Structure 1
C-alpha cells in the first residue's frame, strides 16, 4: 500500500485550485486557439483593462499557470514550501500570509501597469496578463530566510554552498533576467519585486509572533526585530552597508508617517530569543532536545568532578598503626568501601565550621 501524503488543509486547497484553474485555462485556450492568437480569460487571469468586473481575479490569478513547465514548478513550490510553512505557523497564520503574498503584489502590479498606460498611452500595458505563482515563490523564500537564517544549502556536490537568505535575491535576479526575454513578461518582474517587498514587510513588522514559554517574550509581539532578518541581510556583504543605510532612511520615513511601528528594546530582545528557539527547532528534537542536551552535559561534568574527588579520597595513603610495647587488642581495620557516585564528604565542611 503506498504511503499516504500528509498535506495540511490550506496547502491541499492551493494544490487543487492550481491544478483546476490551470487546466481550465488550458482547455479554454485550446478551444479558442484557431480563432484568436492571444487568448485571455479575464475571469481567471487578472487583466487590467478587462478584469475590473471580476474582482476575485485579484486573488485567484496567483494560482493560474499557462504551461505545464511553470505549473510543475508551482506545484513543487506549494507542496514543499506551503507544507513547511503551514506546519510551522498553523493554518490560520499561513492563510493570512497567503492573502498578503497574493493580494499585495497583484494590486501593486495592476496599479503600476495602469500608471504606465496613463503615461505612455500604450494599450499593451492594460492588456498584459497578471498571473502565476511568482509572488508565492518569492514569499516562501523570504519566509524560509526568517525561519532558518543560518541554514546552508549545498549544491552540485559541494561546489556551490549558499545560505538560505541568499535565495530570494537570486530568484529576483533570475525572474528579472527572464522578463527581458519572451519567456516571461514585464508583469512577472513587477510581481517578483513587489512580492519580495510585501512579504518581507509583513513578516518584519506585522505578523504575530508566537509566545515562547521558556522566554520572557510578550504574547502581543508582532514582527521580527532580529538582526538576522534585516533587509540588508538578503544582499552580499559588499553592498550591505549601502542597503542598510538606504533601508534605515526608508524605515524612518515610514515610522514618521505612522505606517510602521518602531521596535522597542524589549521587542528586539524577544526577537533574538525567538530566533534562537527557531534555530534550535530546526535541529533534531527541537528546543526541548537542546535543553536536554545542555542538561546532560552539565550532569556529565558534575559526574566527572565527583568521580575525581572520590578517587582522590580512595587512593589517600593510610598512616601506619602505632607501635605498642606489650600485648594489646588489635582492632580489625574496616575494609575500604568503593566510592559511589554522588557520595559527599562532610569533613571539609566540619573543618570550615570549626574555623
Structure 2
C-alpha cells in the first residue's frame, strides 16, 4: 500500500502490463468506435446523418451525440481506441464506471454544442460557407478531456513522451499549444481543432464545478491546483486569476448551496482556509494509491503467467 507521503509511481509503459488490464466498459466503447468507422467506410453516404454538420444540425439534432463516436480516418480510430483503453485504466477505477461513462457523455455532448455554436458564429462573422458544411466528428474531444482528468487526480504523474518525461498536469496545456501550432500548417485543422479545445474546456468546467465527489456530498474541485490559471505558467496567473473569479460567479454565484456545501464554505462563498489544499492532497493520494494497486495487480498477473509457463515447460520436459 502507498503511504500518504509516497509520490505517484510512473506508469510502466514498457512492460507487458501496458497491454493488459483494460476495463470492460472501455472495451465496449472501443468496439463502438471501431464499428462506427467500419460502417462509415461501407456506407459513406451515412456521414451527414452521424457527423456534426452545422447546416443540417437543426433537423438532425442527434448529430450532437453521435458525432463524438464517429472517426472518419483510420489513424483517428486507432488513436481514439488506444487512448480510450489506456486512459480508462487510470480513470475508471478512480471515478467508477458510472461516473466515467457520465463524464464521456457530458463532455461529448457539450463539446458538440460548443462546436456547433462556434461554427454558426464564424459563418455570420466571415460569411465563409465552409464553416456550415464541414463535417465535425471524432472522439478526440473526450480524449483531451481525459488529460484534464489525469491532471486533476495525478498531477505529478510523469508521462513518457518519446524521450521526454512531462508531468501530467502540463499535458492539456502542451496538447493545446501543439494543436494550435500545427493548425497553421494543416489545411483541414478546422475539422479537429475546435473539438479538441472545447473538449479540454468543457472537461475542466465539469470536473471543476459539477462532478460529484464520492467521499463528500459536495460537487466539483475548488482547489487552487485545479483552477483555470493552473493550466498556464506562473507569470500569467495574476492576469488570469480574475477570469477564474468570473467562472466561479457564473457557475456558483447564483446557485444556492445545500447545508453540506455551507458547512464547507464561509459566508462569502469562499472555501474555508486550507480546505482546498487538503482536498486536493486527498485526491492525489487516492489516485496514487489506486494506481499503485493496479500496477501491483498487473505485476502479480504477469508473474503468475510466467510461472505457469515455466511449470508447463517443465512438465513437457519430464
| Same topology, TM > 0.5 | yes
1:99-152 C-alpha deviation (Å, 9 max, x unpaired): 221011101111111122233333221101111122112100000000011223
Q: 1:259 to 1:156 in 2, by over 3 A?
A: farther
Aligned pair partner of 2:283 in 243, 268, 278: 278
| In 1: Cα distance, 2:240 partner to 2:184 partner | 25
Aligned pair partner of 2:248 in 237, 240, 251: 251
Give the secondary structure class of the aligned counterpart of 2:50: coil
Aligned pair partner of 2:220 in 212, 220, 223: 223
Give the secondary structure class of the aligned counterpart of 1:41: helix
| In 1: Cα distance, 2:197 partner to 2:290 partner | 36
| In 1: Cα distance, 2:221 partner to 2:105 partner | 19
1:69 aligns with 2:84: no
Aligned residues: 269
**Correspondence for 2:116:** 110
Map of 1:179-258 to 2, 5 A cutoff? 179-182=183-186, 184-211=188-215, 219-256=216-253, 258=255
Q: 1:52 to 1:17 in 2, by over 3 A?
A: farther
| In 2: Cα distance, 1:119 partner to 1:259 partner | 37
TM-score by length of 1: 0.67
Aligned pair partner of 2:128 in 98, 119, 122: 122
**Correspondence for 2:51:** 45
Aligned pair partner of 1:58 in 56, 64, 71: 64
Aligned pair partner of 1:85 in 91, 113, 116: 91
Question: What's the offset of the Cα at 1:238?
Answer: 2.5
Q: 1:271 to 1:21 in 2, by over 3 A?
A: same
| In 2: Cα distance, 1:256 partner to 1:274 partner | 21
What residue ranges of structure 1 are gaps of 5+ in the alignment? 30-38, 212-218, 289-355
168-177 vs 243-252, which moves further:
243-252
Give the secondary structure class of the aligned counterpart of 2:42: helix
Question: What's the offset of the Cα at 1:73?
Answer: 1.0
Q: Is the 8 A contact 1:209 1:221 kept in 2?
A: yes
| In 2: Cα distance, 1:277 partner to 1:140 partner | 20
Specify which structure has the higher proportion of helix: 2
| In 2: Cα distance, 1:116 partner to 1:275 partner | 39
1:68-90 C-alpha deviation (Å, 9 max, x unpaired): 22221111110111232111111
Q: 1:259 to 1:198 in 2, by over 3 A?
A: farther
Q: Is the 8 A contact 1:139 1:196 kept in 2?
A: yes
248-257 vs 116-125, which moves further:
248-257
CA RMSD of aligned residues (A): 3.1
1:153 aligns with 2:168: no
Q: 1:242 to 1:153 in 2, by over 3 A?
A: same
Aligned pair partner of 1:21 in 28, 36, 54: 36
| In 1: Cα distance, 2:247 partner to 2:285 partner | 33
TM-score by length of 2: 0.74
Which structure's relative contact order is higher, taking Cα pairs within 8 Å and 6+ residues apart? 2
